Structure 1
Amino acid sequence: MKVSDLSPRALWQNFARLNAVPRASKKEKQVIDFMWSFGEGLGLETFQDAAGNVVIKKPATAGMENRQTVVLQSHLDMVHQKNGDTDFDFETQGIDMYVDGDWVKARGTTLGADNGIGVATIMALLEATDIEHPALEALFTIDEETGMTGAKQLDPVHITGKILLNLDTEEDDELTIGCAGGIDTNTSYKYNEVALTGAHVAFEVKLKGLTGGHSGMDIHKGRGNANKLMNRLLYAARKSVDIKINRVDGGSLRNAIPRESTAVVVVPEEQKLLFQAFFGIYTTVLKEENQTVEPGLQFLLSECPLPETVMEDADFVKIVNAIYAMPNGVYRMSPDIEGLVEASSNLARVIIKDGHFVSQSLQRSSVESTKEDVAQAVGAGFENIGCEVALSGDYPGWKPNPDSAILRLMAALYTDRFGKAPKVEACHAGLECGILGGHLPGMDMISFGPTIRGAHSPDERVQVSSVEKFWSYLLEVLKAIPEKQ
């Protein structure tokens, strides 16, 4: 079965159309033009602000004119990530999707269900002629995944509604009323390179097969971080052999738990067998340690051409020690909301090459003071070795409002329809609601969506039956929107 043949058909057809358009964060011109043309083609009022956000307005259906206007919001960009052995050009190719039982997946890349399913849902509503709904204002933001630029720079002039439905969460039995804020910590350091003297042999070390995932929603699951594991291997190797680093390239995107890392290392020729023996023993320890959570973890070792230079030993010690000491994963659990991660850090990117070391990490917290604390903890360790540390992409969290009118309405509808109460949650991911609320004072906001697994990784998948459940529930919500006050 093709994805476009799934039910609800209008939603899946729009998802297929959307996924044919390259839409990486900060490279969204094609998808902005696509969405503009979509709104214009339906004869609906369509606007674009200076940031690139698109707003499409649709009047209420007959008999619903006195209901409150609803803002439907999703982001146009998606995380572009692929497996190392996947040949795919995100800038020219559409996502290669397929149906696997009750799931839609992509071959070797991210699927874009985050947040493409939300976008496709809104598109289906905008083009529908047989669905009851109040006046709709569809807000499609850009660059959510790499800084929430669209939300930050939103021109609110075309938004009049006071109820906002954000279609960007990933459990179909949850209603989200709060989220974490985030900040990026970026470091850089110029290290000394030295020429090799004497007989040496070079090896390429590859770490692959980790699960990866969303650095907010999945950070508490104990998944391996490729950058931390590779660094641990290098740190331990130095205690056994006279190892030197030529280069390291680990991770991919700032908001994804890194799945792969590659290093080129050099050892004296007389220590070749000793290093190979160490590698076999130590990587076995790491695989056994992570077997339950990371059964696919692989370490590969192969000889490669000898480089001309390596990192000076003193810088090797500084950098590897700093990475080892860096906080990663859950930093603090919330004392107020059971089971909620309050603060975390994810070492997303490590590059050592040609005399330059850079790292990128993302800190998240639902409390501004602990967001600052974890970012400072990360930065301080790197500052101690002389790194330049720059903070960027700061965005606020979204404070929960348990007395929200739209929450009461949607919780009651969910209970009536599905026979049990929904989970009302705050999440550790970054949602745009906190920023949008600053531009749109008085907005009553809630976030919900279908079940998505493995977001921000090539294992991303969306559950077909859950999308159908989400769609039918959303239609009930739109029919029940109260009258204007």
Structure 2
Amino acid sequence: MDYKITGYEPEKLFHFFEEISAIPRGSGNEKGISDYLVKFAKDRGLEVIQDDAYNVVIKKAGSRGAEDHAPVMLQGHMDMVCEKRAGVEHDFEKDGLDLIIRDGRLTANGTTLGGDNGVAVALMLMVLDDDEIEHPPVECVFTTEEEVGLNGAKALDKSVLKARTMINMDSEDEGVATVSCAGGLRVQFTKEIKRTTVQGSLLTLKVEGLLGGHSGQDIDKERQNADLLMARMIQRLLKETKGQLVSFNGGTKDNAIPRECEASLIYESDEEAAKAEELACELAETYAEELTPAEPDFSCEISCETNRTAEAIPQDAAKEFICAMRLAPNGIQKRNIKMDGFVVVSLNLGVVRTEEDRIVMIFSPRSSVASLQEDTKERLNTLAETFGFTVSHSSEYPGWSFKEDSPVREICKESYKELFGEDLKIEAIHAGLECGLFSDAIKGLDAIAIGPTIANCHTPDEYLTLDSFERFYEFLKDILSRLAK
């Protein structure tokens, strides 16, 4: 293939990233990238395991003199969040990413980049391919469906792994090491509905241009949730005008703060529709005044068409639906003041959709404290019961607690200080990492999460800083060299 990234070393590292970017690898669609990894290993005579979940483990013997050292696990996930800007034509099931390089940053044209966690895949491929570096035996673990509940890591048979030291590369700030993370799950509300046919004027509302972001890493930035903003507008319209809700669709991933939402209402009276359109415009202006300091690209498109026929949601069901959203807990719920306001509990209403015969709402709660996560589940269960929704829980994964004694953490700190002359920052994060699942399953596992700088994950504004990626490989090589001593 023709490679776009030039001028960075080692060249192969960046080529590997481009190669995997050409393979569609959204969550649930990882067979192609999984098979690529298997072929990569077989072409180099390396031991490889591929399971039914398409997880891949590739093992490489230690370099000369380090063959008998304790193995180390390198780990990352191969799937990516598939988000795109409105109007962008891109089929994540079939199309590779269109990469763009500008001012030392790598982005994708109108879509997420998949640096989260394609960088880990490329880094592991480089370690497996580079026979010049010094390292102990390595077990490279590539997991699937991380972005939808860490499903691949759950399914993986951990008994195939001998390593008791783990370097996860799903941290996204150069110079920062993650040593603890939150647990999470997916909570879905569902309500069955029977629609009725209504003729009249159809009012359509579109909220666009919000920043969105990662529901863990960006939840403390107070970014507007498009679904909740739309619910606010719809509640006023249903209260002050005589319309019926037809559709309400916002967000595509439970772990991404919704950037866009579209809804529609139908009015039997053209005069009432005109009144609703005027009110919607007034509300949009008010919201713009509130939001534009923090959400500069916010916009609300409003249109009205006469002589339309639509299948409307019953008034009672629509009211319960909107009220549930208006009262739903969202955003930061609890902080630890003693840890500089670190987020302990949060929720994200990530997906709302109205289907032909049901309404669906999907939440992503997170907490680093198991008892508080249980409390959140109870609160959501109460909300669902109050407004007549059935509730289900899925994709639950544990948090990862801080370990006082961590040899790998000390090695990383020493390496970073000697290479770059600065202290490695140690932090806990509110996002979820697979370290918790591996630590639960492998007794005595010593884990750390590190990585190069990637910004705006889970949004089309995601970018990878190329010189950071370049430096990070040097950091990783030095850590492996120290582990081989």
For residues 225-253 of structure 1, what are the alpha-carbon distances to aligned partners after superposition, in whole Å with 9 as ceiling and x for unaligned? 11111111101222332232111111101
Match of 2:108 among 95, 106, 109: 106
The yes-or-no answer on 1:123 pairing with 2:125 is yes
CA distance in structure 2 between the aligned counterparts of 1:115 and 1:39, rounded to whole angstroms: 19
Following superposition, the deviation at residue 336 of structure 1 comes to 5.0
Partner of 2:299: 298
Following superposition, the deviation at residue 401 of structure 1 comes to 0.9
Q: Does the 8 Å CA contact 2:183/2:367 hold for their aligned counterparts?
A: yes
RMSD (Å), alpha carbons:
1.6
Q: Compared with structure 1, are the counterparts of its residues 306 and 376 closer, same or farther at alpha carbon in structure 2 (3 Å cutoff)?
A: farther
TM-score (norm 1): 0.96
Q: Does the 8 Å CA contact 1:4/1:13 hold for their aligned counterparts?
A: no
CA distance in structure 1 between the aligned counterparts of 2:338 and 2:38, rounded to whole angstroms: 43
Partner of 2:70: 68
For residues 98-151 of structure 1, what are the alpha-carbon distances to aligned partners after superposition, in whole Å with 9 as ceiling and x for unaligned? 101121000111101000011101101110122222211111111111121111
- The AA in structure 1 aligned to 2:438 is L
Q: 2:242 aligns to what SS in structure 1?
A: coil
CA distance in structure 1 between the aligned counterparts of 2:396 and 2:129, rounded to whole angstroms: 36
What is the number of residues matched between the two proteins?
Answer: 481
CA distance in structure 2 between the aligned counterparts of 1:7 and 1:463, rounded to whole angstroms: 14
The 5 A counterparts of 1:98-247 are 98-196=100-198, 200-247=200-247
Following superposition, the deviation at residue 271 of structure 1 comes to 2.2
Match of 2:444 among 442, 445, 450: 442
CA distance in structure 2 between the aligned counterparts of 1:335 and 1:365, rounded to whole angstroms: 15
Following superposition, the deviation at residue 301 of structure 1 comes to 1.0
Q: Does the 8 Å CA contact 2:97/2:108 hold for their aligned counterparts?
A: yes
For residues 366-420 of structure 1, what are the alpha-carbon distances to aligned partners after superposition, in whole Å with 9 as ceiling and x for unaligned? 0111111122222321221111001111110001113211111111221222222
Following superposition, the deviation at residue 358 of structure 1 comes to 0.7
Q: 1:308 aligns to what SS in structure 2?
A: strand
Q: 2:308 aligns to what SS in structure 1?
A: coil
Partner of 2:285: 284
Following superposition, the deviation at residue 482 of structure 1 comes to 5.6
Stretches of 4+ aligned residues off by more than 6 angstroms: none
Question: Percent identity of the aligned residues?
Answer: 34
- The AA in structure 1 aligned to 2:288 is K
The yes-or-no answer on 1:468 pairing with 2:470 is yes
Q: 1:224 aligns to what SS in structure 2?
A: coil
Q: Does the 8 Å CA contact 1:3/1:97 hold for their aligned counterparts?
A: no
CA distance in structure 2 between the aligned counterparts of 1:40 and 1:185, rounded to whole angstroms: 40
Q: 1:137 aligns to what SS in structure 2?
A: strand
Match of 1:477 among 470, 476, 479: 479
Q: Does the 8 Å CA contact 1:182/1:397 hold for their aligned counterparts?
A: yes
The yes-or-no answer on 1:372 pairing with 2:364 is no
Following superposition, the deviation at residue 264 of structure 1 comes to 1.5
Partner of 1:249: 249
CA distance in structure 1 between the aligned counterparts of 2:223 and 2:10, rounded to whole angstroms: 34
For residues 301-348 of structure 1, what are the alpha-carbon distances to aligned partners after superposition, in whole Å with 9 as ceiling and x for unaligned? 122462333122222221111110000111111255323211111101
Q: Does the 8 Å CA contact 2:203/2:273 hold for their aligned counterparts?
A: no
- The AA in structure 2 aligned to 1:34 is Y
Q: 1:278 aligns to what SS in structure 2?
A: helix
- The AA in structure 1 aligned to 2:358 is H
Q: Does the 8 Å CA contact 1:192/1:315 hold for their aligned counterparts?
A: no
Structure 2 residue runs without a partner (length 5+): none
Q: Does the 8 Å CA contact 1:331/1:374 hold for their aligned counterparts?
A: no
- The AA in structure 2 aligned to 1:166 is N
